Amino acid sequence: MTTTIRPARPGDEAELVAMIRELAAFEKASEHCHVTESQLTTALFGGEPVAWAHVAEVDGLPAGCALWYRTFSTWEGVAGVYLEDLFVRPEYRRHGVARGLLATLARECTAAGYTRLEWAVLDWNVDAIALYDAVGGKQQSEWITYRVSGPELSALAGS
């Protein structure tokens, strides 16, 4: 089994959308996933990309992906990476693919002088939590995540 991890390139959008939808199904949230190939093309490869992705291939077949974007720490004065999605197809799990994607992003951070690699995980995803603990991830239990979206976002924008 040969694993290759590479930056996403134009032409990967269909496979990335498929994996994003597989992740949404795994997270029991398919009804909230509306991403299109066109949106990914613009986000990843447009004139001003807002996100980046890496694709993991096993023996030439798409096995997983990591989609991420840059953040900024005002306290440290440097950028970081927020891992929005990490997904490995079930048949490739427990073969080091997810760890390889995380290590690739860690190399992206250190090469660019970034000081953080951050992500969130659902509290019931014990396999992912075990991996994140094993690679030295630290839970940030003192922070509570908030989100405003949908009608509430529109109402706030109009206030």
List 61's β-bridge partners, or say none: 58
Q: How far apart are CA 117 and CA 144, in angstroms?
A: 18
Q: How far apart are CA 80 and CA 15, in angstroms?
A: 26
Number of helical H runs and strand E runs in the chain: 5, 5
Length of the chain: 159
Q: How far apart are CA 81 and CA 76, in angstroms?
A: 14
Q: Catalytic site residues?
A: 132
Query: Phi first, then psi: what are they for 29, rounded to 5°?
Result: -140, 30
Please report how many Cα atoms fall inside a 13 Å half-sphere around the Cα of residue 124, on the Cβ side: 3
Q: How far apart are CA 71 and CA 147, in angstroms?
A: 16
